[in-house]
Amino acid sequence: MVWEKRMPERPIVAVAGVTGAVGREMLAVLEQRTFPAASVKALASSRSAGKTVSFAGGELVVEEMTEKSFEGVDIALFSAGAEVSRQFRDAVTSAGCVMIDNSSAFRMDDDVPLVVPEVNPGDLDWHAGVIANPNCSTIQMVVVLDVLRSLAPISRVVVSTYQAASGAGQAAMDELYDQTADFLAGRGLAPEAFAHRIAFNCIPQIDVFLEDGSTKEEWKMVVETKKIMHAPEISIAATCIRVPVLRCHSEALAVEFTAPVGVEAARAALASAVGVTVLDDPAARAYPMPASLEGSDDCYVGRIRADASVPHGLQLWVVADQLRKGAALNAVQIAEGLLGR
């Protein structure tokens, strides 16, 4: 059943999982984009109840999230993990509230749109109370691919990701900090958030392994891209790597088209696209890098060049802040798309 309740122009918003890295970023994005919320509720587990979080020049008192927390709320931005999202789905929707969920709980459900506003905003028309925020690495890739497919149909994509610790949450970011200090001081390292040492290392596993030898993160990039772009015909191969970077995921893309696409045409299309910034001047050693893009909102593209290994191919380098466009910003953009809808 399609959602029929009209969203007010000034909705009441709840942020569930507000004390986590993405939850805090959601608050920051709501404030920075002057989202027209009538009020904002800060929700978390009982462990965090009573704490305060900064918002709009003041502080919000964190409330324990219960099934009654969503009464009178119009939009709930969820970043509390898949299990919690599943637990509270009925309570949210039965209260007349729309859940925008950052977890993997509902992304591939047939009745749940998976939305990147620059790519498929029309899918907001058929939600039934739950809208899924895609995987962070998928989001930045589809923003770029959607621009490129306006030049010619895409037949195949090969992507290698270099994903920051932020993708695994605040504890993972803390572990990178602590392990770096311990490594430089010659102290022993005891991995907890990751299966192996993350300091001065690359880990070729994100999420669990599947029967075919790929990881669930790699599977997500394949199936989510097809769903978001409404393009089941595109072949996608992904390899996902965790790297010792605090924020911003990087991706090396090799895109194959069914017809010729020139480098300059691709550069011009990307430069004019909403949500994309081209930073591509090899002579000046100018290209996107995680260290310089923390806190930014766009998907940055560089190293745009022809791929001579296929008849019609391009190679690109894409960087975006995982906590911003890869999570909090995309969720708030979805909420903006619901206003008055």
- Helices and strands (H and E) in the chain: how many: 8, 14
Which candidate in 97, 127, 248, 249 is catalytic?
249
Q: What residues contact residue 335 under an 8 Å CB cut-off, 6+ apart?
A: 11, 13, 35, 75, 77, 100
Which candidate in 97, 136, 248, 299 is catalytic?
136
Known active-site residue 202: no
How far is CA 291 from its chain centroid?
Answer: 18
Tokens for 263, please give them. 């480098």
**What's the N-to-C CA distance of the chain in angstroms?**
16
Whole-angstrom distance, CA of residue 21 vs CA of residue 43: 14
Q: What angle do CA 199, 82, 37 make, to 5 degrees?
A: 100
Contact criterion met (CB below 8 Å) for 151 and 269 = yes
Known active-site residue 249: yes
Name the residue among 149, 185, 119, 148 with its Cα closest to residue 325: 119
Residues in the chain: 341
Tokens for 291, please give them. 């260290």
Whole-angstrom distance, CA of residue 17 vs CA of residue 43: 6
Whole-angstrom distance, CA of residue 303 vs CA of residue 255: 13
Whole-angstrom distance, CA of residue 341 vs CA of residue 335: 10
Q: Which residues are catalytic?
A: 136, 249
